[in-house]
Chain A
Amino acid sequence: MGNNLLANYAEVVAVLLFCIGFTNLLLQKNMIKKIIGLNIMDTAIYLFLAEKGYIDGRIAPIVVNGDLNPQTYINPVPSGLVLTGIVVSVSVTALMLSLTIRLYRRYHTLDLDEITTRLKKEGR
């Protein structure tokens, strides 16, 4: 058990980071902290994928000097997935930030719970 954790330390770190990001996104009241949590969570998944795609002693999957032997290169698919994932998380972060700006302009606070209580008081 302990040996496995040591051998796969990058995955362990990734999962820990995922948990940290997830709890932040779920429990923080401040919108900006929530968004930071979201980014930590997404990045942890990319770390996990990148670690899974990496093979010790091999190089990035870019063909140089006509070497087509697959044993030379690491697995390119996870890197492709990470790229796609980054695009998705960037757009989602942008959307969240724009929502935060809207809320801040209207209510002059970043605290989501306070906004909700104020809305309930207004009774609309």
Chain B
Amino acid sequence: MDIIRNFPCLSILLSMFTAIICSALKGKGARRLSTILVMVVGILSICTLYLTGATGQSYVYVMGHFPAPFGNEIRFGTLEAGMALFFCIIMLLSLAGGRKKIKMEIDPHKENLYYIMVDLLLSSLLALVYTNDLFTAYVFVEINTIAACGLIMISEHGRTIEAATRYMIMSLLGSGLFLIGICLLYDMTGHLLMSNIHESIQMIVNDGMYTIPLLVTIALIVVGLAIKSALFPFHSWLPDAYGYSTVSSAAMLSSLVSKGYIFLLIKLIYRVIGFDTFLDSKIINVLYIFGLAGMIMGSVNAIKENDIRRMISFSSVAQIGYIYMGFGLGTTAAMVASVFHILSHAATKSLLFVSAVGLTDVSGGKKRFEELTGAAYRNKIAGVAFTVGALSMVGIPVFSGFVSKLLFAQAAIQSHDKLLPTLIVLAISTVLNAIYFMKTVIRIYTPSHGKYDSVAMKEKPLYAITLVCFIVLNVVLGMCSEPITGWIIKGLSLFA
């Protein structure tokens, strides 16, 4: 049992070394190695999840031989382990679903570069999930950004380079704010380890010192991470980056990269700043307003869009708005809802991206809605999968989106002054979601005159299996919400 404690550190190191080995391999070898890596990391995460679930406590893993105030630490509880496992599953499915496209869109000599980026992305995500050190978190935030930039621009044409540049600029603004926030925090507390900072902040707050610097610090860190995870007014880079990159990249960017930052933010809120201090800071009201605005504006933009990939991307803006709205409600129940929405959105959005590419492929590669008429008849499994994703996003029972909306609504009831706006915006947003998703579903199920050939399921076994796995994942999240929310509540209580 004791050996399992090494697994989080081991999985981070494994993914970094695999990235190095991939640079010496050809495309095919790199692909196989990376697939094996993601599976191995998944298995290691299952073991960690089992350990933390069985003992019900969180562990601190000391890196090197320097004890608490000086050295670097990894800390993991049941939520971290489960999140790592979930990220691995999504990454595996996204890679499998977009494999054909990766082969088509990427120069064969560069295919191994793609898998280097994937490995680096995995390692930085794991590090963000597990680390207990603020500066390590910053370094891995930057690695995550660089890897994501590589994923966007790997299929080289004008659009992707421009999208990658815009993504980099916004991300660098975000990480600049995040870095100076960390520096101020270090300046006030004299520590870099999250648990030690938390103790110092508790003392500072009790003594009533540094009220304004602390507020500024919290604002800087939160805004920095919000820019990086594309909260509403900072989302300008998002539609291009998701809409024109290769499908695996789009699925991973929307469901993993932004979620990694949000998970880091949750961790900072609980473990560094302290939940009560965060509530008193009034930053939550700002997040709440921006979250609500994002829920509406993202959906409105999605309705106006005439390109299926960009429509799904704008829907991401709305869903990120939901998550930040949960932060803004400022109760533990809302936080649980936000974490659940991270899971549900990640599972659904990658499903939508992967199934949309199946639909566009049978429509001559065109992404405009007019061309997609009847696409669901030409590629049946992709049509079914897209419908499932759309129903889940709208919030139909059985699928995961319903549970997160239910949790948000329940959490809103506990809050006095925020009850009415939350419920109204939830309702409006659901209707808007329904408008653009149902429009698409009706469009793909409208029979057309056989302009394009249809594809049988047997021709693409891997793609079909992937979509089935995605659908099952979605239904599992929707049906077994009870144990999952229980697990999130337990994990969040271990966080502090």
- Chain B 120-158 residues near chain A, CB threshold 8 A: 135, 138-139, 142, 145-146, 149, 153, 156-158
Interface residue count on the A side (C-beta < 8 Å): 36
Do A103 and B161 touch across chains, with their CB atoms under 8 A apart? yes
Inside 8 A of B146's CB, which chain A residues have their CB?
91-92, 95
B187 within 8 Å of A (CB atoms):
yes
Interface of A (DSSP majority class)? helix
Least CB distance, B84 to chain A, in whole angstroms: 24
A107 within 8 Å of B (CB atoms):
yes
B180 within 8 Å of A (CB atoms):
yes
Least CB distance, B330 to chain A, in whole angstroms: 29
B438 within 8 Å of A (CB atoms):
no
Task: With A96-B168, A99-B168, A112-B166 as known contacts, state yes or no: A45 contacts B161, CB within 8 Å.
Answer: no
Do B176 and A102 touch across chains, with their CB atoms under 8 A apart? no
Least CB distance, B123 to chain A, in whole angstroms: 15
Complex Cα distance, B161 from A76, in Å, reads 40
Do A88 and B169 touch across chains, with their CB atoms under 8 A apart? no
B303 within 8 Å of A (CB atoms):
no
Q: Most chain-B Cβ atoms within 10 A of its Cβ — which of A25, A81, A107, A115?
A: A81
Complex Cα distance, B141 from A85, in Å, reads 12
Least CB distance, A14 to chain B, in whole angstroms: 9
Residue of B at shortest CB range from A107? B158
Inside 8 A of B172's CB, which chain A residues have their CB?
25, 38, 92, 96
Inside 8 A of B135's CB, which chain A residues have their CB?
81, 84
Inside 8 A of B164's CB, which chain A residues have their CB?
99
Inside 8 A of B153's CB, which chain A residues have their CB?
99, 102
Contact residue among B142, B157, B183, B192 (Cβ-Cβ distance under 8 Å from A45) = B183
Do B183 and A119 touch across chains, with their CB atoms under 8 A apart? no
B162 within 8 Å of A (CB atoms):
yes
Q: Most chain-A Cβ atoms within 10 A of its Cβ — which of B153, B172, B180?
A: B172
Complex Cα distance, B239 from A99, in Å, reads 19
Inside 8 A of A13's CB, which chain B residues have their CB?
none
12 A-B contacts (beta carbon < 8 Å): A45-B179, A45-B180, A48-B180, A52-B183, A78-B186, A81-B183, A88-B138, A96-B165, A99-B165, A107-B158, A112-B165, A112-B166
Chain A residues within CB distance 8 Å of chain B:
18, 21-22, 25-26, 31, 34, 38, 41-42, 45, 48-49, 52, 77-78, 81, 84-85, 88, 91-92, 95-96, 99-100, 102-103, 106-107, 112, 115-116, 119, 122, 124
Apart from A45-B183, A103-B165, A107-B158, what 4 extra A-B contacts exist at CB < 8 Å? A25-B173, A96-B165, A99-B149, A112-B162
